[in-house]
Amino acid sequence: MRIHSCITTVAAFVLMGLTAVASAQSCVSTIPDATPDSRYKVNSNGTVVDLRTGLMWMRCAVGQSWDSQKSSCTGTASKYNWQNALLAVQKLDNGNGYAGYNDWRLPNYRELTSIVRFRCHDPAINETIFPNTPSDPFWTSTPLAQGFGVDWSVHFLTGQAGYMGYSNKQPIRLVRGGAFGS
């Protein structure tokens, strides 16, 4: 029992040390790239169209700003519990919208996983198309099951999907267009 406790303590400190180290995206070149730059039509207004799915995405997470001079997202992504994420989308659409559109929404589970770059991690996304994406779980619009208070999310550290309770605070990336993979 005492040995197990010591090993657990050492493992926790090692993990804490690893998370404190500055990280950069790492990719495995032997895995085929499902999200190459050529799959996207990049617009100058901070949006991109996925030519495979037909969906238009915000290049930045909500809370970040598109800097067209640097072709990058600046600032910090806002984090919302699930209910407030839905309200943030509604507020955006009822206000000035984004890039001239007022029909943005949270992506469903399949839509959000369609932009994951599984050959990479930290973050598991095409950084040219979606620069400065936080390596965090992002909300989807897909509930795990009705009445359980949890929703699917996609974690852009590794690209893995999981579920989170509605009270957790996570960033959001918005999409518009017909639902892909509903």
* 65 vs 11, more confident: 65
- CA 164 to chain CA centroid, Å, is 14
Position 22 scores a pLDDT of 52
What is the tally of structural domains in the chain? 1
15, pLDDT greater than 50:
no
Report residue 23's pLDDT band, with 50, 70 and 90 as the boundaries. Answer: low
Surface-to-core class of residue 17, CB atoms within 10 Å of its CB (0-12 exposed, 13-18 middle, 19+ buried):
exposed
Statement: residue 13 has pLDDT above 80: no
Q: Are 123 and 137 in contact (CB under 8 A)?
A: no
Residue 21 lies in a domain: no
Report the pLDDT averaged over residues 42-64: 97
Query: Containing H/E element for 93?
Result: helix 82-94
Q: Does 122 fall in a domain?
A: yes
Among 165, 164, 169, which Cα is nearest to 154's? 164
pTM of the model: 0.85
Query: What gap in Å lies between CA 120 and CA 156, rounded to an integer?
Result: 10
Residue 12 lies in a domain: no
68 burial type by CB count under 10 A (0-12 exposed, 13-18 middle, 19+ buried): exposed
CA angle (159 as vertex; 158, 163 as ends), nearest 5? 105
CB distance 28 to 118 below 8 Å: no
The answer to the question of residue 113 being in a domain is yes
Whether the link from the prior residue into 143 is cis, omega within 30° of 0, is: no
Q: Does any domain span residue 36?
A: yes
Does residue 79 belong to any structural domain of this protein?
A: yes
Mean pLDDT of 156-161: 96
Instruction: Give pLDDT tens digits for 86-110.
Output: 999 999 999 999 999 999 999 999 9
**Whole-number pLDDT of residue 2:** 39
pLDDT at 17 over 90: no
Q: Which domain holds residue 162?
A: 28-176
Rounded average pLDDT over 104-128: 97
In a domain, 61, yes or no: yes
- The pLDDT of 140-160, averaged and rounded, is 89
Residue 154 lies in a domain: yes
Q: How confident is the model at residue 181 (pLDDT cuts 50, 70, 90)?
A: low
Q: What percent of the chain has pLDDT over 90?
A: 79
